[in-house]
Copies of this chain bind each other. A is one copy, B any other.
Amino acid sequence: MDRRRLRGERTRQAILSHAARLASAEGLEAVSLQRLAGDLGISKSGLFAHFGSKEELQLATVEEAAWVFTLEVLKPGLSEPAGVGRVAGLCEAFLSYVERRVFPGGCFFEAAVAEFDSRPGPVRDSVVEKRRYWAASLARAIREAQTAGQIVPEVDADQLAWELNCLLIGANNSSVTDPGDVAFQRARRSIRDRLQAVAAKP
Protein backbone atom coordinates (compact mmCIF):
# COMPACT_ATOMS: atom_id res chain seq x y z
CA MET A 1 0.00 0.00 0.00
CA ASP A 2 1.00 3.60 0.49
CA ARG A 3 2.76 2.78 3.74
CA ARG A 4 5.07 0.33 2.11
CA ARG A 5 7.93 2.76 1.61
CA LEU A 6 7.69 4.25 5.08
CA ARG A 7 11.00 2.88 6.29
CA GLY A 8 12.93 4.01 3.25
CA GLU A 9 11.20 7.36 3.19
CA ARG A 10 12.23 8.09 6.74
CA THR A 11 15.91 7.39 6.22
CA ARG A 12 15.78 9.38 2.99
CA GLN A 13 14.38 12.30 4.93
CA ALA A 14 17.07 11.95 7.57
CA ILE A 15 19.74 11.92 4.89
CA LEU A 16 18.43 15.06 3.19
CA SER A 17 17.94 16.94 6.43
CA HIS A 18 21.47 16.26 7.53
CA ALA A 19 22.86 16.90 4.05
CA ALA A 20 21.22 20.32 3.87
CA ARG A 21 22.49 21.37 7.28
CA LEU A 22 25.97 20.13 6.45
CA ALA A 23 26.04 21.73 3.01
CA SER A 24 25.08 25.14 4.38
CA ALA A 25 28.31 25.20 6.33
CA GLU A 26 30.77 23.22 4.25
CA GLY A 27 29.33 23.41 0.75
CA LEU A 28 27.30 20.99 -1.30
CA GLU A 29 30.32 19.48 -3.00
CA ALA A 30 32.15 18.93 0.27
CA VAL A 31 29.39 16.66 1.56
CA SER A 32 30.73 13.31 0.41
CA LEU A 33 28.70 10.15 0.45
CA GLN A 34 31.20 8.67 2.86
CA ARG A 35 30.96 11.55 5.30
CA LEU A 36 27.19 11.62 5.13
CA ALA A 37 26.85 7.89 5.60
CA GLY A 38 29.34 7.92 8.46
CA ASP A 39 27.48 10.69 10.30
CA LEU A 40 24.18 8.87 9.97
CA GLY A 41 25.60 5.48 10.88
CA ILE A 42 24.63 3.80 7.63
CA SER A 43 26.66 2.38 4.79
CA LYS A 44 27.72 4.42 1.80
CA SER A 45 26.04 2.07 -0.66
CA GLY A 46 22.85 1.96 1.38
CA LEU A 47 22.73 5.72 1.27
CA PHE A 48 23.61 5.90 -2.38
CA ALA A 49 20.76 3.56 -3.29
CA HIS A 50 18.28 6.31 -2.41
CA PHE A 51 19.62 8.52 -5.21
CA GLY A 52 20.89 7.52 -8.60
CA SER A 53 23.84 9.85 -8.50
CA LYS A 54 25.55 12.50 -6.46
CA GLU A 55 23.91 15.19 -8.55
CA GLU A 56 20.47 13.80 -7.77
CA LEU A 57 21.36 13.82 -4.10
CA GLN A 58 22.36 17.47 -4.42
CA LEU A 59 19.16 18.30 -6.27
CA ALA A 60 17.09 16.57 -3.59
CA THR A 61 19.08 18.43 -0.92
CA VAL A 62 18.22 21.75 -2.57
CA GLU A 63 14.54 20.79 -2.63
CA GLU A 64 14.69 19.87 1.04
CA ALA A 65 16.30 23.21 1.84
CA ALA A 66 13.62 25.00 -0.18
CA TRP A 67 10.96 23.24 1.84
CA VAL A 68 12.60 24.36 5.07
CA PHE A 69 12.94 27.91 3.73
CA THR A 70 9.27 28.02 2.85
CA LEU A 71 8.32 26.80 6.29
CA GLU A 72 10.71 29.02 8.22
CA VAL A 73 10.68 32.24 6.19
CA LEU A 74 7.97 32.53 3.55
CA LYS A 75 5.13 31.12 5.67
CA PRO A 76 5.66 33.25 8.79
CA GLY A 77 6.49 36.30 6.68
CA LEU A 78 3.38 36.01 4.54
CA SER A 79 1.21 35.45 7.59
CA GLU A 80 1.29 39.22 8.10
CA PRO A 81 -1.51 41.11 6.33
CA ALA A 82 -0.51 42.75 3.05
CA GLY A 83 1.21 46.10 3.51
CA VAL A 84 4.46 47.40 4.98
CA GLY A 85 3.93 44.97 7.82
CA ARG A 86 4.24 42.07 5.44
CA VAL A 87 7.43 43.52 3.91
CA ALA A 88 8.92 43.96 7.37
CA GLY A 89 7.62 40.52 8.33
CA LEU A 90 9.39 38.86 5.45
CA CYS A 91 12.64 40.64 6.31
CA GLU A 92 12.35 39.78 9.98
CA ALA A 93 11.49 36.16 9.18
CA PHE A 94 14.62 35.92 7.08
CA LEU A 95 16.81 37.48 9.75
CA SER A 96 15.33 35.22 12.39
CA TYR A 97 15.90 32.19 10.19
CA VAL A 98 19.55 33.13 9.85
CA GLU A 99 19.91 34.12 13.49
CA ARG A 100 18.34 30.92 14.81
CA ARG A 101 20.76 28.98 12.63
CA VAL A 102 18.08 26.88 11.04
CA PHE A 103 21.02 25.92 8.87
CA PRO A 104 24.29 25.94 10.80
CA GLY A 105 26.17 27.78 8.06
CA GLY A 106 23.61 30.55 7.63
CA CYS A 107 21.25 30.75 4.70
CA PHE A 108 21.54 27.56 2.67
CA PHE A 109 20.88 29.26 -0.64
CA GLU A 110 23.46 31.98 -0.24
CA ALA A 111 26.07 29.33 0.40
CA ALA A 112 24.86 27.23 -2.51
CA VAL A 113 24.68 30.07 -5.02
CA ALA A 114 28.17 31.19 -4.10
CA GLU A 115 29.42 27.69 -4.71
CA PHE A 116 27.59 27.02 -7.97
CA ASP A 117 27.33 30.45 -9.57
CA SER A 118 30.10 29.68 -12.04
CA ARG A 119 29.27 26.00 -12.46
CA PRO A 120 26.47 25.50 -15.00
CA GLY A 121 24.12 22.59 -14.52
CA PRO A 122 20.80 21.58 -12.99
CA VAL A 123 21.95 22.23 -9.42
CA ARG A 124 22.87 25.81 -10.19
CA ASP A 125 19.61 26.32 -12.10
CA SER A 126 17.58 25.02 -9.20
CA VAL A 127 19.32 27.20 -6.64
CA VAL A 128 19.09 30.31 -8.78
CA GLU A 129 15.40 29.73 -9.40
CA LYS A 130 14.66 29.40 -5.69
CA ARG A 131 16.58 32.57 -4.98
CA ARG A 132 14.68 34.43 -7.68
CA TYR A 133 11.41 33.30 -6.19
CA TRP A 134 12.40 34.80 -2.84
CA ALA A 135 13.37 38.11 -4.44
CA ALA A 136 10.09 38.13 -6.37
CA SER A 137 8.13 37.49 -3.17
CA LEU A 138 9.79 40.47 -1.55
CA ALA A 139 9.05 42.70 -4.57
CA ARG A 140 5.44 41.54 -4.64
CA ALA A 141 4.96 42.38 -0.97
CA ILE A 142 6.27 45.87 -1.68
CA ARG A 143 3.86 46.35 -4.58
CA GLU A 144 1.01 45.17 -2.37
CA ALA A 145 2.01 47.78 0.19
CA GLN A 146 1.96 50.39 -2.55
CA THR A 147 -1.54 49.52 -3.73
CA ALA A 148 -2.57 49.54 -0.07
CA GLY A 149 -1.29 53.11 0.08
CA GLN A 150 1.32 52.36 2.73
CA ILE A 151 4.37 52.89 0.55
CA VAL A 152 4.61 55.89 -1.74
CA PRO A 153 3.95 54.91 -5.36
CA GLU A 154 7.04 56.69 -6.68
CA VAL A 155 9.49 54.08 -5.44
CA ASP A 156 10.65 51.34 -7.78
CA ALA A 157 9.49 48.15 -6.08
CA ASP A 158 12.11 45.97 -7.73
CA GLN A 159 14.85 48.39 -6.77
CA LEU A 160 13.71 48.52 -3.16
CA ALA A 161 13.40 44.74 -3.04
CA TRP A 162 16.93 44.45 -4.36
CA GLU A 163 18.23 46.84 -1.70
CA LEU A 164 16.45 45.08 1.13
CA ASN A 165 17.68 41.73 -0.10
CA CYS A 166 21.25 43.08 -0.17
CA LEU A 167 20.93 44.06 3.48
CA LEU A 168 19.47 40.68 4.43
CA ILE A 169 22.19 38.81 2.62
CA GLY A 170 24.75 41.16 4.08
CA ALA A 171 23.51 40.28 7.56
CA ASN A 172 23.81 36.61 6.69
CA ASN A 173 27.36 37.05 5.46
CA SER A 174 28.45 39.21 8.37
CA SER A 175 26.92 36.84 10.89
CA VAL A 176 29.21 34.00 9.87
CA THR A 177 32.26 36.25 9.99
CA ASP A 178 31.70 38.64 12.86
CA PRO A 179 31.01 37.50 16.40
CA GLY A 180 27.91 38.56 18.29
CA ASP A 181 24.72 39.98 16.87
CA VAL A 182 26.08 43.26 15.53
CA ALA A 183 25.26 42.20 11.98
CA PHE A 184 21.60 41.68 12.81
CA GLN A 185 21.42 44.98 14.66
CA ARG A 186 22.83 46.77 11.65
CA ALA A 187 20.47 45.01 9.26
CA ARG A 188 17.38 45.66 11.39
CA ARG A 189 18.29 49.30 11.78
CA SER A 190 18.95 49.79 8.07
CA ILE A 191 15.75 48.04 7.04
CA ARG A 192 13.63 49.96 9.55
CA ASP A 193 15.07 53.28 8.39
CA ARG A 194 14.68 52.38 4.76
CA LEU A 195 11.05 51.37 5.15
CA GLN A 196 10.28 54.50 7.16
CA ALA A 197 11.81 56.62 4.42
CA VAL A 198 9.43 55.24 1.80
CA ALA A 199 6.36 55.00 4.03
CA ALA A 200 3.35 57.00 2.84
CA LYS A 201 2.15 59.72 5.21
CA PRO A 202 -1.10 58.70 6.94
Contact = CB atoms under 8 A, between A and B. Distances in A.
B163 A190 contact: yes
Interface in A1-47: 25-27, 29-30
B174 A162 contact: yes
Interface of A: 25-27, 29-30, 104-106, 110-111, 113-115, 117-119, 128, 131, 159, 162-163, 165-167, 169-170, 173-174, 176-177, 186, 189-190, 197
Q: How many copies does the complex hold?
A: 2
A49 to B, nearest CB: 28
Contacts of A163: 167, 170, 186, 190
B167 A27 contact: no
A186 B169 CA distance: 16
A177 B125 CA distance: 10
A83 to B, nearest CB: 23
19 contacts: A27-B27, A27-B115, A29-B30, A104-B118, A105-B117, A105-B118, A114-B114, A114-B115, A118-B176, A128-B177, A131-B177, A163-B167, A163-B170, A163-B186, A163-B190, A165-B170, A166-B166, A166-B170, A170-B170
